Amino acid sequence: MKLSNILNSNDISISCEIFPPKSGSELQNAFGIISKIADTGTDFMSVTYGAGGTSVGETVAIAAEIEKNGLPALAHLTCVGADESKIEDILSKLQASGIENVLALRGDLITEGDTKGSFAHASDLVAKIKSYGDFCVGGACYPQGHPEAISLDQDILNTKIKVESGCEFLVTQMVFENEILYNYMYRLMAKGINVPVVPGIMPVTNVSQIKRICELSGTTLPPHFRAIVEKFADKPEAMQQAGIAYATGQIVDLIANGFSNIHVYTMNKPEIIGTIRKNLSELLK
């Protein structure tokens, strides 16, 4: 199913992201995670591509497994280091596996020797995917501005190019303060960007991981959340409970203020999305 059907309806959707294992031998393990997440009733699952050193080849296999579990899959695809023929090869594999949704990303040059590839910006990849086949294409957006952008306004203008290239929805970088999202929405609308925006919510369960992710992505932790992180840094179970409670509160507030689609960064832990969905069971009816 195309995600545009889900994201443009008024029904509330709570989806989640998983990432492929770092080595192929763990693929069966990933399939087990997918099955457990599917049991929680999540509305769709996205699968990252090459992020954090995960194996790029597995994205198609994992997306196919998500579809086999009866859920729409959103396959991430990055253009760094890939020439046009490699992108076409992956798109043909996605088509052959019945995957209709792609999150088109630029990616980052991480490993020494990485090359830029045929497409400079995610917007170029969006245009390529739309011209290649009948895919529903989304892109990333950054409520606090992409770290490389000279200003938030400039970043929003660049996001507009992505939308004009055929991007049908946007998934945000993780945000820990909803006010930032509400202000961002005003600015998107002022620039004429009207596609569905899906807030990315990260239930923090691992303190050192979140510090690293925030540094890389330019995301800030608000003081009231920083206090939680500092208090429970050495108590993993307490941190997980507090992180899920904080994320649940954020989601309730987002839904109350008009967002109907939320994407949860679950870090491959089915219990996280399961608990969040249980916490929200009455809101999801």
Residues belonging to the active site: 17
Interface with ligand FAD, residue 58, by CB under 6 A: no
Minimum distance from CB of 45 to ligand FAD (Å)?
13
CB of 92 to ligand FAD, least distance (A): 19
Angle between helices 122-132 and 152-164 (to 10 degrees): 10
Q: Is 161 in the site for ligand FAD (CB under 6 A)?
A: yes
The stretch near ligand FAD (CB under 6 A) out of 8-16, 93-101, 138-146, 189-197 is 138-146
- Encoded one letter per residue, x for contact with ligand FAD by CB under 6 A and - for no contact, window 63-102 reads -------------x-x------------------------
> Which residue number, 151 or 281, has a Cβ lying nearer to ligand FAD?
151
Displacement of CA 258 from its chain's centroid (Å)? 20
Rg (CA), the chain: 18
Q: Which residues of 60-92 are buried (b: 16+ CB within 10 A; e: fewer)?
A: bbbbbbbbebebbbbbbbbbbbbeeeebeebbe
62 vs 242 by CB, closer to ligand FAD: 62
For ligand FAD, which is the closer residue by CB, 119 or 246? Answer: 119
- Interface residue with ligand FAD among 12, 27, 38, 51 (CB under 6 A) is 51
Residues β-bridged to residue 3? none
Structure tokens at 217: 């992505």
Closest to 52 (Cα-Cα) out of 257, 248, 226, 267: 267
In the chain, DSSP finds a helix count (H) and a strand count (E) of: 11, 8
Residues that bind ligand FAD (CB under 6 A): 48-51, 76, 78, 105-108, 121-123, 139-140, 146, 148-149, 155, 158, 161-162, 171, 173, 200
